[in-house]
């Protein structure tokens, strides 16, 4: 344990050095890690400003920073390539990522930017939980098909939607093979006082599309995406591929080594979408998958079961 901690610190240092050199446009991944003390349900959060000052701000994306110009938003943070690594062996469907994300983005009830699926690759293998945000693909099918360029890929790898331009044709939803997008079928219930920016996706706009945005607005001020900090099991690692660091808020790891050592894979790579989200296989699990049902309401449990019955029927 001691050793592990030591090695972590080493990573931290490593990352800091790398981070310092890449400190353009917002804090580095490692300055984000300083926000280890998770808010205990409070609405305030401690964060480290890019200048290194500790401050306390309100949670919620609507309340952060000034709104960047549309050109800046479309360009992204230069020199970065944001990635996420999701460790399937630690997920027990706690759904804290889902609720934190929904809260921070002021989503309508029932809307989820992150969905947690119950997967079973074949009849003989064990089921496992599969949290899935938008993959921020490097060859995004959604961006290709958008008739008005409302959904776009930035230099830093993030795929965003400009809800002020989106015409609601939903072609991107048809094109995305991973069902990552949700539609605002009705007027958003919560209307936070905020100037809209594609970086925050807040406030939502009726008749347009939404999805996980990798929280670039938080990142500019050095905060990790909410799903990362909300997860009690440290499933999500967020970071920068160029900087070669990812962190789950507790530990910071070398991205390249993590994906190599743990045989990370990208879901359905064969579709050619080149996701920015990597999965660590569900081996040596921290929890039996049944744990995931414990806190679920009855109707959700049923929905998960239906699919497995379905799988049997088709002898997959």
Binding interface with ligand SF4 (CB under 6 A): 134-137, 140-142, 145-148, 150-151, 159, 161, 166-172, 176, 178, 180-181, 208-209, 211, 273
Write the CB contacts of 250 (distance below 8 Å, at least 6 apart in sequence): 36, 234
Write the CB contacts of 82 (distance below 8 Å, at least 6 apart in sequence): 136, 156, 157, 158, 214, 216, 219, 238, 239, 240, 241, 276
Shortest Cβ 163–ligand SF4 spacing (Å) = 8
Q: How far apart are CA 149 and CA 195, in angstroms?
A: 21
Which of 208/221 has CB closer to another protein?
208
3-state secondary structure of 310: helix
* Residue 186 touches which member of another protein, ligand SF4, none, C-beta under 5-8 Å by kind: another protein
122, burial (CB in 10 Å: exposed 0-12, middle 13-18, buried 19+): exposed
Q: Give residues in contact with another protein (CB under 8 A).
A: 110, 115, 117-119, 130, 132, 141, 144-150, 165-171, 173-175, 177-179, 181-187, 206-209, 268, 271, 297, 299-300, 302-304, 306-307, 310, 314, 316
* Residue 137 touches which member of another protein, ligand SF4, none, C-beta under 5-8 Å by kind: ligand SF4
Shortest Cβ 177–another protein spacing (Å) = 5
* Residue 161 touches which member of ligand SF4, another protein, none, C-beta under 5-8 Å by kind: ligand SF4
* Residue 211 touches which member of ligand SF4, another protein, none, C-beta under 5-8 Å by kind: ligand SF4
Q: Could you count the other beta carbons within 10 Å of the beta carbon of residue 287?
A: 16
Q: Are 239 and 246 in contact (CB under 8 A)?
A: yes
Shortest Cβ 133–ligand SF4 spacing (Å) = 8
Shortest Cβ 220–ligand SF4 spacing (Å) = 20
Which of 15/131 has CB closer to another protein?
131
The upper half-sphere exposure of residue 34, i.e. CA atoms within 13 Å in the direction of its Cβ, equals: 20
Which of 20/167 has CB closer to ligand SF4?
167
Shortest Cβ 278–another protein spacing (Å) = 17
300, burial (CB in 10 Å: exposed 0-12, middle 13-18, buried 19+): middle
Report the Cα 290 to chain-centroid distance in Å: 24
* Residue 287 touches which member of another protein, ligand SF4, none, C-beta under 5-8 Å by kind: none
Q: Are 190 and 106 in contact (CB under 8 A)?
A: yes
Shortest Cβ 26–ligand SF4 spacing (Å) = 21
């Amino acid at each position: 344990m001691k050793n592990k901690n030591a090695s972590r610190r080493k990573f931290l240092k490593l990352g800091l050095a790398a981070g310092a050199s890449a400190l353009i446009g917002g804090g580095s991944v490692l300055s984000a890690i300083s926000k280890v003390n998770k808010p205990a349900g409070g609405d305030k959060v401690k964060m480290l400003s890019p200048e290194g000052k500790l401050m306390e701000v309100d949670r919620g994306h609507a309340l952060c920073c000034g709104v960047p110009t549309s050109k800046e938003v479309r360009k992204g943070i230069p020199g970065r390539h944001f990635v996420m690594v999701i460790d399937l062996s630690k997920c027990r469907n706690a759904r804290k990522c889902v609720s934190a994300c929904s809260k921070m983005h002021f989503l309508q009830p029932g809307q989820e930017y992150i969905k947690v699926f119950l997967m079973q690759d074949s009849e003989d293998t064990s089921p496992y939980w599969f949290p899935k945000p938008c993959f921020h693909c490097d060859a995004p099918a959604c961006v290709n098909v958008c008739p008005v360029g409302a959904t776009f890929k930035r230099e830093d790898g993030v795929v965003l939607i400009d809800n002020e331009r989106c015409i609601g044709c939903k072609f991107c939803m048809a094109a995305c093979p991973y069902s990552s997008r949700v539609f605002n079928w009705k007027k958003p219930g919560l209307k936070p006082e905020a100037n809209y920016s594609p970086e925050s996706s807040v406030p939502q706009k009726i008749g347009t599309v939404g999805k996980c945005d990798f929280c670039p607005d938080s990142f500019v001020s050095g905060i990790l995406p909410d799903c990362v900090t909300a997860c009690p099991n440290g499933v999500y690692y967020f970071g920068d591929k160029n900087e070669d660091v990812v962190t789950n808020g507790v530990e910071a790891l070398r991205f390249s080594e993590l994906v190599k050592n743990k045989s990370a894979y990208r879901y359905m790579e064969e579709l050619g979408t080149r996701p920015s989200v990597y999965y660590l296989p569900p081996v040596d699990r921290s929890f039996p998958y049944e744990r995931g049902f414990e806190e679920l309401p009855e109707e959700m449990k049923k929905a998960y079961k239906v699919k497995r019955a379905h799988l049997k029927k088709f002898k997959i």
